[in-house]
């Protein structure tokens, strides 16, 4: 039997952002610097975050429709060994779909994950040990 993932409460501290690196053309960068120097934005990062939020707002209806259609968990999804052992005891597997952050506790072994996770789709960030990420690579959509 296959089961779609459901949110699991978490009690640990998680970084609230992910660092990205982008390449911009010199003209675009110059225009950003001009807006910053004129006081429209505090710094380049402030401008970029604002631009991203504006684009996400523009496309919010499309995002909501895709989240509903793909049955994505929106936000944070955490898995511990106890969570996966319960899935295994029920003789089920998970189809994990997260838009945001998916985290796996340090006690989750690659063997346990492979036995309980049928598929994994993370749009955002996946925090897991390198061994666990390598084991789940073949299950990622």
Domain of residue 47: give its range.
26-58
pTM of this structure: 0.66
Do 131 and 69 fall into the same domain? Answer: yes
Do 110 and 126 fall into the same domain? Answer: yes
Return d(Cα 130, Cα 70) in angstroms, integer: 27
Is residue 47 one of the residues assigned to a domain? yes
* Domains contained in the chain, number: 2
Do 38 and 48 fall into the same domain? Answer: yes
Do 74 and 135 fall into the same domain? Answer: yes
Is residue 13 one of the residues assigned to a domain? no
pLDDT in tens, 68-107: 777 788 899 999 999 999 999 999 999 999 999 999 999 9
pLDDT in tens, 20-75: 899 999 999 999 999 999 999 999 999 999 999 999 999 999 988 887 777 788 89
Give the position of tokens 């978490």. Answer: 10
Is residue 15 one of the residues assigned to a domain? no
């Amino acid at each position: 039997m296959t089961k779609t993932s459901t949110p699991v409460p978490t009690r640990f501290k998680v970084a609230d952002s992910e660092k990205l690196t982008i390449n911009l053309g010199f003209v675009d960068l110059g225009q950003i610097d001009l807006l910053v120097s004129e006081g429209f934005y505090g710094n380049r990062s402030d401008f970029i975050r604002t631009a991203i939020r504006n684009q996400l707002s523009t496309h919010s209806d499309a995002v909501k429709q895709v989240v509903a259609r793909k049955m994505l968990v929106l936000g944070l999804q955490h898995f511990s060994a106890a969570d996966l052992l319960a899935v295994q005891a029920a003789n089920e597997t998970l189809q994990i779909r997260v838009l945001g952050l998916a985290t796996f506790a340090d006690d989750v072994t690659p063997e346990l994950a492979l036995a309980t996770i049928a598929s994994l789709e993370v749009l955002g960030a996946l925090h897991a040990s390198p061994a666990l990420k390598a084991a789940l690579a073949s299950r990622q959509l």
